[in-house]
Amino acid sequence: MDQQTEIWQQLSDDEMHFYSRQILLDGWDIDAQEKLKLANVLLIGAGGLGCLTAELLTRAGVGKLTILDADQIETSNLQRQVAFQPQDIGFYKAETLAKRLKQINPHIQVEAHNIRLTEDNAADFIASQDLVLDGCDQFATRYLVNQVCTQLAVPLISASAIAYEGQLFMVTADSACYECIFPKTESQDESLRCANSGVLATTPNVMASLQAHHALLYLGLNLTPLKQKLLLWNGLTMQQRIVKFEKDINCPNCQARTI
């Protein structure tokens, strides 16, 4: 680490105060907090998942958040997308969320882009990140995020929420990927999007909390409890299951790249 990074990494008195309850934690010392401060995290989607995941990481002290979302806020978003209020309707989600995050924690950097992740811009956005958090509502984007993260060896924590159910898992450079669990042909039904289906206000927020929690474990403590494991949350029974999965030797994404 060069001298400039070391100085930037050090926490100011104000930051020490802001994060004091975290630094008091057993196992979470100043070192872990400084690792968070140096972290660059990309959030794909500023909807039901992204709103809360971004807010929790902002409060916890992740140094730089980049938020991507092309949509504008609609009335039907307010039921679950906790960053938005009625006066925000019509404004861009990414921009509005970023404004709120800066008000919550002045010590971090937030960048907002009112655009969708595409094949043309994905590598540029993902290459410089320490972690990508997917909370988008389109299968095509999920496959693209997975593909580029695998290609560039950038870790990915992917969350989804629909109706009363949620899923969460992590993809790393040497693990199975999204496409190993959900092969393209079986799960490309775009009609299963949140935008078209019902979702209880709490479901995305439960999954966003779990996603943010996993992100902190990874960034601060280098833990990967959901690497090659799929967490399934059932919001009707309140049960959580964790299922192990393996690399699909026929996966066109991660296997093609290791040959």
Summarize as ranges the residues that interact with Zn ion (CB under 5 A).
177, 179-180, 251, 253-254
Q: Which of 33, 160 has the CB closer to Zn ion?
A: 160
Pick between residue 58 and residue 150 the one whose CB is nearest to Zn ion. Answer: 150
Select from 179, 167, 187, 182 the least CA-distant residue to 242: 167
Q: Are 203 and 192 in contact (CB under 8 A)?
A: no
Q: Which is nearer to Zn ion, 95 or 179 (CB)?
A: 179
Encoded tokens for 205 = 């927020």
Strand 64-68 with 131-134, pairing:
unpaired
Shortest distance, position 228 Cβ to Zn ion, whole Å: 11
Nearest Cα residue to 161 out of 42, 79, 62, 95: 79
SS3 (DSSP) at 74: coil
Residue showing the smallest CB distance to Zn ion in the complex: 251
Shortest distance, position 249 Cβ to Zn ion, whole Å: 9
- Taking the complex as a whole, the smallest distance from the CB of residue 130 to Zn ion amounts, in Å, to 21
Q: Which two tokens stand for residue 28?
A: 């979470």
Quick one: 44 or 254, whose CB is closer to Zn ion? 254
CB of 226 to Zn ion, least distance (A): 16
In the complex, the smallest distance separating the C-beta of residue 76 from Zn ion, rounded to whole angstroms, is: 34
Distance of CA 52 to the CA centre of its chain: 10
Amino acid at 7: I
| Of residues 110 and 156, the one with the C-beta less far from Zn ion | 156
For the bound state, the minimum distance from the C-beta of residue 212 to Zn ion, rounded and expressed in Å, comes to 25
- Rounded Cα distance between 97 and 123, Å, is 23
Report yes or no: 102 and 110 within 8 Å, Cβ to Cβ: yes
Shortest spacing between CB 6 and Zn ion, in angstroms: 38
Cβ closest to Zn ion, residue 19 vs residue 143: 143
Maximum alpha-carbon separation in the chain: 53
Closer CB to Zn ion, 202 or 255, in the complex: 255
Give the 3-state secondary structure percentages of the chain, helix then strand then coil, rounded to 5.
45, 20, 35
